[in-house]
Amino acid sequence: MNGAAVAGLAGVWVVALALSVAVGAWLVPWVLRHTEKEPRIEAEAMAVLRGGTWIGVLERLAVTATILAGHPEGVAIVVAVKGLGRYPELKEHPVASERFVVGTLASLVWAGVVGLVARAVVVLLATGRVPLDVVT
């Protein structure tokens, strides 16, 4: 693989990871604002789920990167670690569980879409063929 090809592939990685994080940082709060029913409950859930913004950034980076690398099974590890890490807080504060589930799902879907599209671009650049089976 020549230098230009390597630079192109690296560029796809950088753009994909940046899009996953940057747009996700706007998209997830937007989804949460449109699903919250009561401001009081939202405030309580936010207090319980402190650190959620940074966890979401890391989650989107990990999901997009594992899909882009051709290892979608990594998504299961991300979901398991996040769920186990938050379980004690969610068990004690059930009001936060809906926000956790909605935010996680929005974040995972966005990161997955970005990862799949970027993976298709990487396969296209590397092989010259349009991938019908993106994750191989």
> For residues 121 and 134, what is the distance between their CA atoms, to the nearest angstrom?
9
Q: What pLDDT, on a 0 to 100 scale, did the predictor assign at position 43?
A: 63
Instruction: Please write the tens of the pLDDT for every residue from 109-127.
Output: 999 999 999 999 998 888 8
pLDDT at residue 27 is higher than 70: yes
Q: What pLDDT, on a 0 to 100 scale, did the predictor assign at position 113?
A: 98
Q: What pLDDT, on a 0 to 100 scale, did the predictor assign at position 33?
A: 86
Mean pLDDT of 43-64: 82
Instruction: Please write the tens of the pLDDT for every residue from 84-93.
Output: 988 888 888 7
What pTM value is reported for the model?
A: 0.85
> For residues 131 and 70, what is the distance between their CA atoms, to the nearest angstrom?
13
Which of 102 and 41 is assigned the larger pLDDT? Answer: 102
Compute the chain's Rg from CA coordinates.
17
Which of 9 and 5 is assigned the larger pLDDT? Answer: 9
Q: What pLDDT, on a 0 to 100 scale, did the predictor assign at position 41?
A: 59
Closest to 75 (Cα-Cα) out of 59, 99, 51? 59
